[in-house]
Amino acid sequence: MKKLYLLVLCMISAMLVNAQAPVWNVKVGLGASSWMGDGFGSAKALFNQRIGVGVDIPLTGWVSFQTGLNWTSKGAKYSLVNDTKQTVNQNYFEMPLLAAFHIGTPKNFDVIISGGGYIGCGIVGKTEQKADDVTSSWGTFNDACVGDIKIWDGLRRFDAGIQAGINLDFRHYIVGVEGEFGLALAALIERRAHDGEQQLLDINFRYL
For 5-47, what is each residue's pLDDT tens digit? 566 666 656 655 555 788 999 999 999 998 876 666 678 899 9
Number of domains in the chain: 1
User: What is the percent of the chain with per-residue pLDDT over 70, rounded to a whole number?
Assistant: 82
Q: Does the reported pTM lie above 0.75?
A: yes
Which range of residues forms the domain containing residue 29? Answer: 2-207
CA dist 107 and 23 (Å) reads: 21
Indicate which CATH number applies to the domain containing 110: 2.40.160.20
More confident residue, 198 or 204: 204
- Taking the CA atoms of the chain, what radius of gyration do you get in angstroms? 19
CA dist 17 and 108 (Å) reads: 30
For 133-181, what is each residue's pLDDT tens digit? 889 999 999 988 888 888 888 888 899 999 999 999 998 899 999 999 9
Predicted confidence (pLDDT) at residue 191 exceeds the cutoff of 70: no
